[in-house]
Amino acid sequence: MARTSPDSPLLFDEVLVPDFSIEKAAIDAGHFPVAGTDEAGRGPLAGPVVAAAVILDPRNIPDGLNDSKKLTLKAREALFDLIVTSSLAVSFSSMSAETIDRVNILRASLEAMRRSVLALSIAPKLVLVDGRDHPPRLPCESRPLIKGDARSQSIAAASIVAKVMRDRIMAGCGNHHPVYGFETHAGYGTVRHRQAILESGALVRIHRMTFAPLKSA
């Protein structure tokens, strides 16, 4: 499988707004369709890492696509619905906390991206990837983009899908384990979450035991 070179670094003070220019250039060069892929949940102490892949319809791109971290909950949910209904293909995949502990978070994230791309109902000719790394064993070219979710609308769309799906998974965990408050912090190391771990212990198959402070405990 051919791979393109990683994208060049960006200035830290550069203000970015995602558009479709990278995808358009690729399409004009014969790489259609183009997918974007991104993940959500690399940093939390609990829960899976979730990745998504999206092939936008160039004729029907939702307004307001952006890095999911820059959007409100209400905006993410609204855009999620638009992405799912207007895109040519959408998929997502997750890797469990147990897998993260076994293979490490980077490998788990890249594997989730790979599975999301393979799950698309349309095979892409090029995959734009948020970050510096190539997901392994893709059947097409991949191009890493530093700050890709702030530059590419396809990656931004994938970041929204991944974030919304992960938040919903963590809300379900919160329903089953209310003492931890997963529905409020999605597994991140908030004061409430750390206190719940101290008082009630860690949850097998939900907490990431290789992450500090769980590893030291």
Annotated binding site for a divalent metal cation: 38-39, 130
Exposed, middle or buried by CB within 10 Å (0-12, 13-18, 19+), for 86? middle
Calpha distance 112→91 (Å, rounded): 11
For the annotated binding site, the residues are 38-39, 130
Answer left, alpha or beta for residue 77, where phi above 0 means left and psi between -120 and 50 means alpha: alpha
**Tally of CB atoms within 10 A around 184:** 13
Report how far residue 63's alpha carbon sits from residue 19's, in angstroms, rounded to the nearest whole number: 10
The three-class DSSP label of residue 3 is coil
Tokens of 100: 């993260």
Residue 98, classed as helix, strand or coil, is: helix
Beta strands across the sheet bearing 89-95:
89-95, 49-55, 34-40, 126-130, 141-145
Gap between the Cα atoms of 29 and 91, Å rounded? 25
